[in-house]
Structure formats: structure tokens, C-alpha cells
Amino acid sequence: MKRAFPILGVLTAILLSYALYQALVAAPTEQTMGDVQRIFYYHVPSAWTAFILFFVNFGASVLYLTKRRPAADIVALVSAEVGVVFCTIVLVTGPIWARPVWGIWWTWDMRLTSTLVLWLIYVSYLFLRRFSSSGQTPTLAAALAVLGALCVPFVYFSIWFFRTQHPQPVMGGGGSIDPRMLHVLLVNWLAFSCFAFLVCWSRYRLESLQREVDQAHALESLLDLRGSVR
Amino acid sequence: MPWNRYWTFAGACDERKRPMSNNGYLLAAYAATWIIHITYLGTIIRRYSRLQREIEDLDKKDLQKK
């Protein structure tokens, strides 16, 4: 497994470089917006990756609540953390695209607002994990994650249910896309998914190691205490 | 006809290869993406090196006790 990580890292780096080339050079220029539309190749895959990571967080949280497996708790924490990173990218690149196209950075429409609320829910989740030292923290966080996951389908389908400023979905929502643009979009999504997987993997190893060290510290303190009592 | 003329992210493509437009925004979006990713990777590396130091300290304490 240790040898697989650098190999996958190199392959992901190559894939990310290829995806960047596809997005900036190979993809055709959009008729109305021009080159600024190429932001779409980073914005949409980041959103999809964030949704998948929040879904993983939901599955792991349910598993933790039902089976109390520490590994599920670590997976939940890691997926939420990396998901927040990708969701931050969505919230940053969206307004950068909107400024030249809509003429405004932000509008309080349903898709944008619900995405911001989703981001705030998962940031709250991470704050809870970071600053609460109670033994019940993983359980409380898992419950919050289950509630947060309910927001994900709402964000995704908000452009179906509400009249929003946000563009229509790329696939299955009546929007049309040039097949070459779709290819570039999927290549970028694959690249970002591989990157997210690798980051989650390294973060999982780090969190497992951190917990082992914390246990060792606790054991050491206990032994010191016993020695001083004697 | 959609009420918003910029309704779709990506519609038809322009074969005439128009001159680059709004490149500053494009560059800003791509740069912001990688700055966020690299900053996050930086925090992981920092946490990992702090953990390595903690493990070394624990090992030293173990040796002293023995």
C-alpha cells in the first residue's frame, strides 16, 4: 500500500496536467462568454467532488452511529474536511465567473445561498470536531453530518425547483453542451476525483497516526500518575 | 427562450477562436483553486511534521525510562 501512494501521486499529477491542458487549450471557446467560460472546468468538477465527499461523510457517519467503528469516524472527518476544501473552491470560482458574465459577484438566489449554507454546516462540523473535547464529540458530529447531508440534494436540485440566476445543470436538466466540452469536463472531474482520493488517503493516515500518538500520551500520563501515587 | 441570456454554462462552441477575453478572471479562478489546494496540502504536511516530532519525543521518553 505504501508503494502504491507515490505511483498514484505521479499518475494523478499527470492526469491533472492533462486536464489543465484540455481545459485551457483543447476545449473549444464558448460562443457567448468566451474564455471566461473555461472556469466551468474547475467549478463544476469541484462541486461534484464536494458532493461525493459529503455523501461519503454521510455514509461513514451513519456507520459510526450504528456500529461505533473508529475507522468510520476517521473517514467521516477526512471526507468532510476535503469536501469543505472543494466546496470553498466552488464558492470562490463561482463569483469570479459571475462577475464578468452576470455583472455581479454574488446574488442571494437559491442555488448560491444553499451552497453557502451547506458550506457553513460542514465548517461548523469541523469546528465541532476541532474544539470540542467531550467523549461524545464523534456522536454529535455524526448526527450533525446526517443533518448536513440532507442539504446536499436540496442544493443539487434547487435549480430544478426554483427560478434561479444560476445556469441549468450540464446533464439531464435541459441544458445542452458541446460533446468536446463534455469530454474536457469529465477529464477534469476524473483528475479532481483522483486528487481528492489521494488527499483523503494521506489525511486518513495522518489522523490514524494522530490518534495512536494521543493514546500513547494518555497512557504515559496514566503511568506517571500511578507512579506518583505509589 | 430562457429568461436569463447566460442560462447555460456551456452551450455551443465558437469555431472562429475569438481573441482571449476576460483572461484575468480565468487566471484568478484557476490560481485561486490551486492556492486553496496547496494551502490545504501545506497544513497536512505541517501537521505531519509536528506529529513526527511528538513521536520522537515519546521515543526519547521511553528510552530514558528504560
Residue in A44, A96, A176 nearest the CB of B28: A96
Residue A79 has a pLDDT of 97
CB within 8 Å: A180 and B21:
no
pLDDT of residue A210 exceeding 70: yes
Task: Determine the residue type at B39.
Answer: T
Closest by CA to A53, choosing from A145, A182, A143, is A145
Per-residue pLDDT tens digits for B6-39? 444 555 555 455 544 678 999 999 999 999 999 9
Residues of B in contact with A220 (CB under 8 A): 58, 61
In the structure grid, which three cell numbers stand for residue A83, read together? 469536501
Domain containing B51 equals 22-66
User: Count of domains in chain B?
Assistant: 1
pLDDT for residue A92 is more than 70: yes
Asked if A31 and B7 come within 8 Å (Cβ–Cβ), the reply is: no
Q: Is the pLDDT of residue A143 over 70?
A: yes
B30 lies in some domain = yes
Q: Which residue has the higher pLDDT, A143 or B22?
A: A143
Q: What is the mean pLDDT of residues A93-106?
A: 93
Distance from CA of B41 to the nearest CA of A (A): 8
pLDDT confidence bin for A165, thresholds 50/70/90 = confident
pLDDT of residue B11: 53
Instruction: Report if residue B12 sits inside a domain.
Output: no
Whether pLDDT at B5 is above 50: no
Q: Judge: A93–B32 Cβ closer than 8 Å, yes or no.
A: yes
- Comparing alpha-carbon positions, the chain B residue that sits nearest to A97 is B25
A3: confidence class by pLDDT, cuts 50, 70, 90: confident
DSSP chain A: -TTHHHHHHHHHHHHHHHHHHIIIIISPEETTTBGGGGGHHHHHHHHHHHHHHHHHHHHHHHHHHHH--HHHHHHHHHHHHHHHHHHHHHHHHHHHHHHHHHSSS----HHHHHHHHHHHHHHHHHHHHHH--STTHHHHHHHHHHHHHHHHHHHHHHHHHS--SSPPPSSSSS----HHHHHHHHHHHHHHHHHHHHHHHHHHHHHHHHHHHHHHHHHHHHHHHHHHH-
All residues of chain B having their beta carbon less than 8 Å from the beta carbon of residue A44 are 9
**Lowest mean pLDDT, pick from A8-17, A172-181, B41-50:** A172-181
Contact state of A210 with B51 under an 8 Å Cβ cutoff:
yes
* Partner-chain residue, chosen from A178, A203, A216, that has the shortest CB–CB distance to B44: A203
Domain-embedded: residue B14? no
Residue B36 and residue A85: Cβ atoms within 8 Å? yes
Q: Closest partner residue to B29 among A31, A42, A203, by Cβ?
A: A42
Calculate the alpha carbon distances from A153 to A109, A115, A121, A159, B3 in Å. Answer: 16, 11, 14, 11, 25
A15 compared with B14, residue with greater pLDDT: A15
Distance from CA of A180 to the nearest CA of B (A): 9
B10 in any annotated domain: no
Element holding B14 (H helix, E strand): strand B13-14
pLDDT tens digits, residue range A52-68? 999 999 999 999 999 99
CB contact under 8 A, A42 and B33: yes
Contacts of B37 in chain A (CB under 8 A): 85, 89, 195
Report the chain B residue with the minimal C-alpha distance to residue A89: B33
CA-to-CA dists, residue A164 to A47, A103, B2, B5, B8, angstroms: 17, 16, 11, 13, 12
Q: What is the mean pLDDT of residues A28-34?
A: 87
pLDDT for the residue numbered A171: 62
pLDDT of residue A106 exceeding 50: yes
Range name among A87-91, A114-118, B61-65 with the lowest pLDDT average:
B61-65
Q: Is residue B62 part of a domain?
A: yes
- State whether residue B36 sits within 8 Å of chain A by CB: yes
CB contact under 8 Å between A175 and B6, yes or no, is no
Q: Is residue B64 assigned to a domain?
A: yes
The CA dihedral of B16, B19, B25, B27, to the nearest 10 degrees, is: 100
Q: What is the mean pLDDT of residues A64-78?
A: 94
Weakest-pLDDT range from A9-13, A196-200, A217-221: A217-221
Terminal alpha carbon distance of chain B: 80
> Which of A113-117, A153-157, A167-171 holds the top average pLDDT?
A113-117
* ipTM of the prediction: 0.90
In sequence order, the β-bridge partners of residue B13 are A30
Q: How confident is the model at residue A184 (pLDDT cuts 50, 70, 90)?
A: very high
Question: What pLDDT, on the 0 to 100 scale, is given for residue A2?
Answer: 72
Q: Which residue of B4, B10, B22 is in closest CB contact with A181?
A: B10
What is the pLDDT, as a whole number, of residue B10?
53
Comparing A187 with A102, the larger pLDDT belongs to A187
In a domain, B46, yes or no: yes
Higher pLDDT, B2 or B41: B41
Q: How confident is the model over B49-59, as a mean pLDDT?
A: 91
Please state, in angstroms and rounded to a whole number, the distance separating the CA atoms of residues A120 and A179: 35
What average pLDDT does the segment A95-119 reach?
Answer: 92
